Structure 1
Amino acid sequence: MELDKYCAIILDLLFKRHENSSSQKNLSLGINEIKREVKPNLGNEYKVQNLNHALDYLLQNELIVKEHDLFSSPKGVEKETNVKYKISGVGIASKEKPELFLPNPGYASSINISSVENVTIIGKHSKVIIHTKYKELGEKIEELIDLVQDNASIPKKDKADILALIKALESLFISETPNIELVRKTDIDLTLKLKKWSTTLGENVLVNGITNLITSYFGI
């Protein structure tokens, strides 16, 4: 299918970006950056609508993640700005271990965990694939996602920023040997983001538990 070409190119592009990035800020690409990379690979076959369809397909199947800022107009209308895309933990798994990739089974009534070789699949709101070595850490991260998503006291903008950092931290553990410096920095950024909401989130008990686990794994 024609759409497959676009999906394969975009996913490969974002995967390479993930592999080569030394900073959390550099993991994502804006739409214009993606267009510049995709167009030369397709030549005369390139169509903007097909690119948009491919991005939508990858998002719907949780192979990539969309990041954005929220802008509120004086009338209270929220708009997405500074939209960027990056590969998700599921997308990374599909590139590194395609034989283990499974389509998203949808929402579950409780956290569902299963292990295949060295990969653990954790899923409630969205399936997460991490290395089995970090299974306990993955469970804690899923709990934190629930805690943040269900908290009505946190404004939408702050909640989106926090969840993006949680998912970023989570995606680093698909590999048995993640980038330690990136893990350390993302964990610090997440802790700082959550600090102002420590009371409503239970004094950061889960965050401290995650940090302690990271320290026990990597000594940082």
Structure 2
Amino acid sequence: MSVRVLIADDQALIRAGLAALFRAAPGLEVAGEACDGAEAVTLAEHTRPDVVLMDIRMPVLDGIGATRRILAAPEEQRPHVVVLTTFDLDEYVYTALGEGASGFLLKDTPPERIISAIHAVAAGDILIAPRITHRLVETYALQHRAKEFAVPELAELTAREKEVLRLVGNGLSNHQIAERLVLSEATVKTHVKRIMTKLRLSSRAQAVVVAYESGLVVPGPRGQ
């Protein structure tokens, strides 16, 4: 079954290049092309893509606003959103991750890596290497830091779920968390799923942002 990709970018040459790349790649299908964020929201609703490749800066509605609206859809209709950016240390990208984007790709990423990233995120895998995500999050988290009580949903988490969220925030995989807490990987997956549901999160990257902004993880060389 093909992964259906919606491309949103205000530059026609980039849209055309990505569309040609995806049409030539086995297992990928172009669901549509949008020249601004508003059109991306409309096309996402009507074409039901698996993945939206979203430029961060676009006219009418930017990639952050478009991501927010697209991920407000019911869970069964919600695609994965991957942000396209020029710079990895970009506050707009940080904000998009906080809105639920699954990760980001630099615009100069080689074609074969873009294709593999689309397949990875469609399968629910973590798209961005933890060290890159954490460098981005640590750069901007203190500017957005909220007190724990300002994230009321955290009160719904059990002590174990908070510990799992802290470890997710520190970049550990489910397997690594299972080893650290002496749990089965299936149990960790259950905890992560409950955390995502309780906090109304759309992606693991968003969970990392919440972990930092709530103070569960403190920026530093190795996290806390």
User: Normalising to structure 1: TM-score of the pair?
Assistant: 0.30
Select the structure that is richer in helix. 1
User: Normalising to structure 2: TM-score of the pair?
Assistant: 0.30
